[in-house]
């Protein structure tokens, strides 16, 4: 437990808590836009930008690599939109294509950089699966600023997001630009991804966006409470996963966060108050009892 008392561990715990909350809340937007795969595609597409950012400055500068990751992810999003609008290829297929191509390009560039003088000591491999323990206080500050910015955008424009997601025609009638909202959505999604890739990596980042939102859906029908619960689930997974990883020697933080989040999903799947398996089984059993009682009553009345 002594390691939890260190300043570095405390900063990492705070950063993963805030990151989990921001990711969970943002995941609700992706869930209702039916673009859960988009987060997976953009997180994988960020890898080439990270490597190119390192190659340009020659040192591991998190702001520069985050900027590179953001540019790479935005280019990937634009390519997905272009493929979808200019060809007969569907959006999910376009996402799969861009995901594979950009991630393959990132691995190729990573291999080349690692063969450069000093490249094998750059620590770029940590961006694939994440390595929160390697963060310094400056990195944590950068992550916290971006994560808080994401949550502020969601809080300030909550009513607009709700109208945009559930009634786009009404939103256009109010003068709410769909193109503007889609642009803000894409920007915020990219911010969440580049904030979290050092913690959970480009491969697992999509899980931190998707799983808390899906888990929250099992507990409520309200969009407001879904966002709140998703933020709590994401933040709780970040907090618990990080604490567990710090208790062991060399235990990876990202995978423990995702496993914790998956555990919350299983609990929600079984015990969820709205769509949980137990509540559905109970409702089905109640309906059958009512149906049997109604049938018996009709038979009795018919016999009379």
Distance CA 272, CA 280 (A): 9
Residue 290 belongs to a domain: no
Dihedral sign (CA 54, 58, 62, 63): negative
Residue 267 belongs to a domain: no
Residue 271 belongs to a domain: no
Report CA-CA distances (Å) from 217 to 194, 221, 236.
Answer: 25, 7, 16
User: Given this model, what pLDDT does residue 251 score?
Assistant: 79
User: Given this model, what pLDDT does residue 2 score?
Assistant: 53
Beta strands in 223-271 (DSSP E): none
Q: Which of 115-124, 133-142, 294-303 bottoms out in mean pLDDT, i.e. has the lowest?
A: 294-303
Report CA-CA distances (Å) from 54 to 44, 59, 61, 199.
Answer: 17, 6, 7, 17
Provide the number of structural domains found in the chain.
Answer: 1
User: What range does the domain containing 175 cover?
Assistant: 2-210
Q: Which of 136-145, 157-166, 290-299 bottoms out in mean pLDDT, i.e. has the lowest?
A: 290-299
Distance CA 116, CA 238 (A): 34
Residue 265 belongs to a domain: no
Radius of gyration of the chain (CA): 23
Residue 29 belongs to a domain: yes
Q: Is the pLDDT of residue 4 over 80?
A: no
**Residue that has been written with the tokens 């990937």 in this structure:** 76
Q: Under DSSP, is residue 119 helix (H, G, I), strand (E, B) or coil?
A: helix
pLDDT digits (tens, 9 = 90+) for 215-272: 999 999 999 999 999 999 999 999 999 888 888 777 788 889 999 999 999 999 999 8
Closest C-alpha among 182, 39, 52 to residue 99: 39
- Which CATH number does the domain housing residue 193 bear? 1.10.3470.10
Cα dihedral 110, 97, 215, 218, rounded to 10, equals: 180
CA angle 161, 166, 168 (to 5 degrees): 80
Distance CA 173, CA 189 (A): 26
């Amino acid at each position: 437990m002594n390691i939890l008392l260190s300043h570095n561990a405390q900063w990492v715990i705070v950063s993963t808590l805030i990151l989990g909350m921001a990711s969970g809340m943002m995941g609700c937007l992706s869930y209702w836009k039916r673009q859960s795969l988009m987060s997976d595609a953009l997180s994988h597409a960020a890898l080439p930008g990270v490597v190119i950012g390192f190659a340009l400055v020659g040192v591991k500068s998190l702001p520069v690599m985050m900027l590179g990751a953001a540019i790479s992810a935005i280019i990937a999003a634009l390519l997905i939109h272009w493929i979808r609008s200019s060809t007969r290829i569907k959006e999910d297929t376009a996402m799969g294509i861009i995901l594979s191509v950009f991630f393959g390009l990132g691995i190729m560039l990573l291999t080349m950089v690692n063969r450069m003088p000093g490249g094998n000591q750059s620590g770029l491999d940590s961006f694939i699966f994440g390595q929160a323990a390697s963060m310094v206080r400056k990195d944590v500050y950068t992550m916290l600023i971006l994560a808080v910015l994401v949550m502020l955008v969601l809080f300030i424009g909550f009513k607009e997001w709700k109208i945009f997601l559930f009634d786009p025609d009404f939103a256009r009638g109010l003068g709410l630009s769909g193109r503007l909202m889609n642009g803000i959505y894409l920007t915020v999604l990219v911010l969440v991804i580049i904030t979290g890739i050092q913690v959970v990596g480009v491969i697992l980042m999509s899980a931190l966006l998707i799983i808390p939102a899906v888990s929250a859906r099992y507990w409520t029908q309200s969009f407001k409470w879904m966002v709140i619960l998703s933020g709590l689930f994401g933040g709780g997974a970040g907090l618990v996963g990080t604490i567990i990883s710090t208790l062991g020697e060399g235990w990876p933080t990202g995978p423990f966060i995702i496993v914790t989040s998956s555990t919350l999903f299983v609990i929600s799947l079984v015990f969820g108050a709205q769509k949980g398996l137990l509540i559905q089984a109970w409702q089905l059993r109640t309906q059958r009892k009512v149906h049997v009682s109604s049938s018996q009553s009709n038979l009795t009345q018919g016999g009379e």
